[in-house]
Chains A and B, each alone.
Chain A
């Protein structure tokens, strides 16, 4: 990266939603009455839309620059200045963050509009139309800070901010204790990850200070990447460890928390307790991608440390497979989508770990489109089913809600990798990156990817068929009132459906560019991102590429066909399968009992130790009873038993004591 240009425009992008959020917050906390709905809608959606428009303008400013100098910087003020160290509250727009802000503000704006329709008929006691939009705007601000920040600290500010908003929105309907529990779970699991993230920041800062450039600015870090790669650190148990490896893995722990990877994934399925637009915005399209963005942003660290890259790739691959198998046995429509999100995020890390950063970001973008579409579509289904989420009580909906069905089908096909739709191209790129990388066991990773593609097609087909085809299993009263939701809910779906269908062409792999359209530089996304994250440089014959693509399609096709056979053609097959392999079925249906295992091995002992030892023995017993109460009681006892006899009521005894005291003082003075 050569130089950078100034642009005061960037601060507007996070500032606009922030102003809306602040306004809502002030009204709610001081006026204590909701503003008129029209006004709330106008302000919140308007702020995000305006932010989107500014992002587009900034993008145009960016592409006018020569490709290797595409960085816009906006330093607002010095946030922390301490000695040689200084951290600016500064924003930077390069191709990577440009893609991110367009996804965040674009998909975010659509979801804001959708929420207007979705939250409209909320009749719960703990409802809060303006509160919802306040949190949603605040979330958008934090997410934009995260992707626009030009140093690790601003990024961390956004990182924590999205975590907070995620907590607030998961527990939005706080009347149910379970929702509050889910919110806390998400927050606590994320805190574990954030701890790793912080350690990573400290390590990098420490190393940078050692090199004489006390800064955690991304461009400074990238400039010092070579020097950082040479540093190492002595650890008590592991001996000499390379600093980049340690820092990269610590940061990846943070990414695991935020992006729900093994072993910190279990908060995401529970996060579905929040309102559906929240699941779409935070837990599918934006926040959970923060980890992938972070790895891509710090790609130079992972390039410098093959060990860390291999960890990222393998964690991603295993998560993709693991979560996909769980999704196979879930019946809650949102839970299936949640596990599918975990699985797709695994794909992104698989790509990022195998140096396919452009593929990771490409999939991040297409996934934001089709997963937001699927979640919002699921929300529309839930609305029309009167807040029923269990697919066991759905079925045959395709003729009753035809428009929802149509857009949902596009989403299903896109995620399953139907040729030509967005998910197909991005998944292809990921598998290609895995195939051509030098990560240990990259062929196994490729195999996992292909297998997961098949499972993905299977569970999505299962979800689709159980929801939209077959007999309707809902109760009579519900069946009588099933109809498509309002236009406000539907038209964001149309836009997302369009994006899911054709969004893949922005990063059309060169293979298809050559073969079908005869375009020389068809993968414009990769070319756009190349100055930041480096290009994918695979020397591989087109024939091999065709073969890889064919393998993926064949796997997905098999999965899709199996789901058709199992759930449409012969609906008794799943039952028979369940009987013949009941152990396996229960294992998968019970989500491998990970939650239970963690509960038994970590949570329960921790709670017991905290309760019995720390609380009852140490705090209540030792500190409260012995130390605090003990002192007070012994003073009181002495006063009651001994010292009260000094109080004779006889003036003369007081005078006597006074004289003794005076004599003692005088005697000490003249000694």
Chain B
């Protein structure tokens, strides 16, 4: 049996990696992947708690998150393609036009 603490620790580590990736990388596709990593870190935490407390609500929540994440990927990749067509680049620094 894996203790709950280990599951949560793994989830936290994955989430932090995802966050740092989203903050530091400039490639929009990598940022999207990092966000995906964050979402799945959260999913892992949900599953862990649902298993530990025998509550199915956590698992249902995970299904919801996966659905939304699929939609998010569709929209995100759509934006990436639109951006690449317009700018020949997927670097976020090239679209920092809305500023002072």
Contact = CB atoms under 8 A, between A and B. Distances in A.
Interface of A: 644-645, 647-652, 655-656, 659
B92 A650 contact: yes
A652 B23 CA distance: 5
Interface of B: 19, 22-24, 31, 92-93, 96-100
A659 B38 CA distance: 13
A648 B99 contact: yes
A656 B19 CA distance: 9
B19 A659 contact: yes
A651 B92 contact: yes
Given A647-B99, A652-B23, 15 more contacts: A644-B100, A647-B100, A648-B96, A649-B96, A649-B97, A650-B92, A650-B93, A650-B99, A652-B22, A652-B24, A655-B22, A655-B23, A656-B23, A659-B19, A659-B23
24 contacts: A645-B100, A647-B98, A647-B99, A647-B100, A648-B96, A648-B99, A649-B97, A649-B98, A649-B99, A650-B92, A650-B93, A650-B96, A650-B99, A651-B96, A652-B22, A652-B23, A652-B24, A652-B31, A652-B92, A655-B22, A655-B23, A656-B23, A659-B19, A659-B23
Nearest to B19: A659
B61 to A, nearest CB: 19
Contacts of B93: 650
Nearest to A651: B92
A191 B22 CA distance: 75
A407 to B, nearest CB: 87
A462 to B, nearest CB: 85
A621 B19 CA distance: 53
A432 to B, nearest CB: 93
Contacts of A651: 92, 96
Contacts of A655: 22-23
Nearest to A640: B100
A655 B31 CA distance: 12
A655 B99 CA distance: 15
Contacts of B100: 644-645, 647
Contacts of A648: 96, 99
A571 to B, nearest CB: 90
A652 to B, nearest CB: 5
A570 B10 CA distance: 127
B72 to A, nearest CB: 15
A656 B22 CA distance: 9
B34 to A, nearest CB: 10
Nearest to B93: A650
Contacts of A652: 22-24, 31, 92
A656 B96 CA distance: 15
Contacts of B98: 647, 649
A467 B92 CA distance: 99
A652 B31 CA distance: 9
B28 to A, nearest CB: 9
